[in-house]
Structure 1
């Protein structure tokens, strides 16, 4: 340990150079200068501080330039006295000795770096089921900017061919967004999913609305189909996807099956993991039982404020908040991350899809008795030009009327309405209280009774009817 005229000097090591890791590093640097805190960060990819959520829109052409997704380059971090080492993978964490081992992916050279404080922000990895052909050329995940670039390079190789076909495996957020992106590039798209309805983050009745919209858009949706293999040609490249009773030809295959926490390093180091494989932290994002190790982003599990249980939710919004909290704490300040309610929003062409809180299966899993209410409304006054349909489903606790969850499917203006419900969930409001919210109204934006309030009234009536 070195000392300077200013007092104690410490070294912070950050594993992972994207949202959580570099937000933590940047926040810590704002609070402490390099004469007090040396910061070294390792990133195995080629890009830092980027928006992975924007990859489908970049692939589809809505975002023209890859660099638009990069919030801060490695050079910009280094200008702020953060030693960010790209294409360098941490391969071991030695908790007892307070050091990490890293390998330069260009040269293969390995070095040990000591730390006083450690931040683990290793993210998540795409699910790749152990089926024949899954690692064949032409099969792409879209978790990182490197993944997105590899997919675009592959698409450019087959650009201009007639009858281009794509198969997307998995009909969650990434799957449906990638289906739209590939359609925009002129591909005939087949979406294959093992569940009966797309968007498993919704209840099946709401997922059916998404399927209807996908059908209208021309996407072939194959539900209840487990992929058993990736078909390959004589050159070894992917040429299609096989399910139990059918085959679907493809020039490119995109995986949107979901992600799992990337916690192999943490597991090997003996750090505590939860039921989903994510690191467990306290409210300060400090790894439980570890005085000088913090973790954030897609590699952690967080408290669900509605169910009271830990969940794994991979979203950039959470990762950036985690980083801000961690950065404050490692620099001697104070911050907490209290938890989440599980809010997410997406779109397929002009269809907006949103959810927050618990689904029916989630409520059942934690033993909550509940009622539901589903209403159909419009996104603006019915007489206003362009008024479009919207469906809102609401769950409330049967005994107390506490709001448990909301799902919304509709056109323009539908998705962000979920923020009203997310706020109400965070505040622990009942559906009766929700009906009294003073929301903005004008015919271009809403009917006199906003659809969220209409659903709340219906849910409050269901609570009363249930006794």
Structure 2
């Protein structure tokens, strides 16, 4: 007779954060492990899971008409797939020695401890919100979560109902990706928009000479730019609503203010638990996304620092593309498979009205900080054959290592067809190509899509000459 086997409890995977990284990890682990082998519990302090924060400016602008279009999978849909999602529940402490987390329910305030075998930190990032006078006034909005978007749209609707015939004024603080996208969204709502930033040019993810072209395009779109002066405070009216933004040099009236000053890793829990953090405050992991020095703790998404494949340093680059990939890596590893996240080259695209902006690799300041020597070239080209209808101007800037000709970075500013061309350079950077090797890339050609020599390859050809001239 065979003896009955001993019942074994499943391992428990606890996830802190229910957006891209956390729920990608949960979904991937569930594909590999059934519930009887792996229990998955995800704590999310908000109401929503698996949504696109990157899409919020387009929802505000009206390109996306319904909030739920931004939600890839609801909490209930995750539960139906065997993932215990607990919304409105905040993790307030980590006990690394005891392998448990403390949680607090938002409604009841009840606190309890939950043990884990595997812990995944996917806490994301928090918007930068400096302690300025008036920063918490009515009418001042961030755009980090779906709730932020709902509050902004409700405020826009309320202002629209009571405004006079004249165009209302809005100020966007911060001229990065979110700032320029929100400037367009507010233009679409009929606002006179002023974009304020302490930098001399918008888009500090570009070199200043390329940022200048973004500024010129914004001005042509009637977005006023107030640059080179830091915000000092926000004025309010007698009812506590924002009425103006003040800087070191000026004052800008506003019925509405949007903050787009960037984000920082949300790593308070990790720091308090003594987990290793990098220079930017992000959690440090190995290539498998395991937190350094901790076999059963993992981290992914906007709360981590990632390996820069060009310089070998670690950087904080908060993007949904990275978060989803890192979450899948974590889920595969916890589920018994094996995967690594090899790092990034720093690719990003954005748009404001018809202007497209793309970058990948290093800026000049980053190349200098890494101790590299480089040459730089800039070319003017068109998105299609010059004779084909709709051909639009495009500016491409390329950095190459001075001695080897290795590609270091590319920035593109132009009209339709400009932004995604940066992907050519992203692949070349990942492959470690030289600019001379790039000139022979077999890219698709037809007059409606490109000139005979694609603008990126024109820049590569010019860079080959610059490298040779530099010796």
Report the TM-score range of the alignment, normalised by the length of the smaller protein. Answer: over 0.9
What are the within-5 Å matches in structure 2 for residues 78-97 of structure 1? 78-97=79-98
Paired residue secondary structure (1:158): helix
- For residues 183-225 of structure 1, the C-alpha deviation after alignment (integer angstroms, 9 at most, x for no partner) is 0011110100100000000000000000000000010011101
Give 2:68's aligned residue.
67
Q: Does residue 441 in structure 1 map to residue 445 in structure 2?
A: yes
Give 1:42's aligned residue.
43
Q: Does residue 300 in structure 1 map to residue 296 in structure 2?
A: no
Give 1:149's aligned residue.
150
Bigger mean CA offset, 379-388 vs 156-165: 156-165
CA–CA separation in structure 2 for the residues paired with 1:283 and 1:180: 38
Quote how far apart the aligned CAs of 1:8 are: 5.5
Cα gap change, 1:340 to 1:6, in 2 (>3 Å) = farther
- For residues 136-177 of structure 1, the C-alpha deviation after alignment (integer angstroms, 9 at most, x for no partner) is 221111111111111111111111413211100000000000
Quote how far apart the aligned CAs of 1:6 are: 7.4
What are the within-5 Å matches in structure 2 for residues 41-440 of structure 1? 41-160=42-161, 161-162=163-164, 163-440=167-444
Paired residue secondary structure (1:412): coil
CA–CA separation in structure 2 for the residues paired with 1:8 and 1:195: 56
- For residues 7-64 of structure 1, the C-alpha deviation after alignment (integer angstroms, 9 at most, x for no partner) is 5620000000000000000100010011011111000111110000000000000100
Count, aligned residues = 465
Q: Are 1:378 and 1:387, in contact at CA under 8 Å, matched by a contact in 2?
A: yes
- For residues 207-249 of structure 1, the C-alpha deviation after alignment (integer angstroms, 9 at most, x for no partner) is 0000000000010011101000011111112111001221111
Runs of 4 or more, structure 1, over 3 Å off, are 3-8
Query: Structure 1 unaligned runs (5+)?
Result: none
Q: TM-score, normalised by structure 1?
A: 0.98
Paired residue secondary structure (2:160): coil
CA–CA separation in structure 1 for the residues paired with 2:93 and 2:81: 27
Q: Are 1:403 and 1:425, in contact at CA under 8 Å, matched by a contact in 2?
A: yes
CA–CA separation in structure 1 for the residues paired with 2:370 and 2:67: 42
CA–CA separation in structure 1 for the residues paired with 2:425 and 2:324: 22
CA–CA separation in structure 2 for the residues paired with 1:347 and 1:34: 43
Quote how far apart the aligned CAs of 1:401 are: 0.4
Q: Are 1:378 and 1:388, in contact at CA under 8 Å, matched by a contact in 2?
A: yes
Quote how far apart the aligned CAs of 1:5 are: 6.1
Q: TM-score, normalised by structure 2?
A: 0.97
Q: Are 1:345 and 1:415, in contact at CA under 8 Å, matched by a contact in 2?
A: yes
Q: Are 1:13 and 1:117, in contact at CA under 8 Å, matched by a contact in 2?
A: yes
CA–CA separation in structure 1 for the residues paired with 2:286 and 2:328: 15
Cα gap change, 1:4 to 1:417, in 2 (>3 Å) = farther
CA–CA separation in structure 1 for the residues paired with 2:33 and 2:376: 50
- For residues 386-442 of structure 1, the C-alpha deviation after alignment (integer angstroms, 9 at most, x for no partner) is 110000000000011000000000001000000000000000000000001010000
CA–CA separation in structure 2 for the residues paired with 1:4 and 1:275: 50
C-alpha RMSD of the superposition:
1.1
What are the within-5 Å matches in structure 2 for residues 7-46 of structure 1? 7=8, 9-46=10-47
CA–CA separation in structure 2 for the residues paired with 1:136 and 1:85: 31
CA–CA separation in structure 1 for the residues paired with 2:325 and 2:415: 29
Quote how far apart the aligned CAs of 1:81 are: 1.1
CA–CA separation in structure 2 for the residues paired with 1:229 and 1:423: 43
CA–CA separation in structure 2 for the residues paired with 1:406 and 1:308: 18
Q: Are 1:6 and 1:35, in contact at CA under 8 Å, matched by a contact in 2?
A: no
CA–CA separation in structure 2 for the residues paired with 1:335 and 1:145: 31
CA–CA separation in structure 2 for the residues paired with 1:456 and 1:33: 50
Q: Are 1:11 and 1:116, in contact at CA under 8 Å, matched by a contact in 2?
A: yes
CA–CA separation in structure 2 for the residues paired with 1:362 and 1:68: 37
Paired residue secondary structure (2:27): helix
CA–CA separation in structure 2 for the residues paired with 1:284 and 1:327: 10
Q: Are 1:261 and 1:298, in contact at CA under 8 Å, matched by a contact in 2?
A: yes
Quote how far apart the aligned CAs of 1:116 are: 0.5
CA–CA separation in structure 2 for the residues paired with 1:195 and 1:399: 32
Partner residue of 1:458 out of 457, 462, 467: 462
Quote how far apart the aligned CAs of 1:368 are: 0.3
Bigger mean CA offset, 167-176 vs 241-250: 241-250
